[in-house]
Amino acid sequence: MLWIIALVVCVIEGAKLGGDVAGSWHGSLIGGFVGSVAWVAGLFLLAWMGGQWSGSGYVPQCRNGCCRSYHPDKDDRDFRLKVIERECYWLCKCGDRYQRRGKRFVLINEDGTETPYMIWRAFRGWFPDGG
């Protein structure tokens, strides 16, 4: 509901500003359109900032440095999501298993123990996790 209110406010304010600048109804029409475009641009900006904040959809490169990232729309991706014994893992081409724990990316060892690997820092990316 708030998104619709924000859209209406952007269109009305854009129409007012366009009418004041142009001095006619043509300016109001163009200003309303510009206001709606600004609203859509704001939504994209918020979505991008949310992804930068949480790191959602991204994985760091593997510990060997050869598997780079996860691209859900490409077939030649280096990481794949696998379900093994009711647990969901990121499996790289090297054979290493990883799990995402919030903003942490942990390495799952052969014996099932976890080793801290990387941590996501908002707007800065992945950094080595000290534990």
Structure-token pair, residue 40: 């859509």
User: What are the φ and ψ backbone dihedral angles of 15, each rounded to 5 degrees?
Assistant: -65, -40
Q: How confident is the model over 42-70, as a mean pLDDT?
A: 75
Residue bearing tokens 């990232």: 69
Higher pLDDT, 51 or 98: 98
7-31 tens-digit pLDDT: 888 888 888 888 888 887 878 888 8
Report how far residue 82's alpha carbon sits from residue 104's, in angstroms, rounded to the nearest whole number: 18
Give pLDDT, residue 116: 92
DSSP codes, 33-99 = HHHHHHHHHHHHHHHHHHHHHH-TT--PPPTTS------TT-TT-SEEEEEETTEEEEEETTS-EEE
Q: How does residue 53 score in pLDDT terms, banded at 50, 70 and 90?
A: low
74-130 tens-digit pLDDT: 555 677 777 777 778 888 888 888 888 888 889 999 898 999 998 888 777 788 888
Domain ranges of the chain: 2-54, 58-131
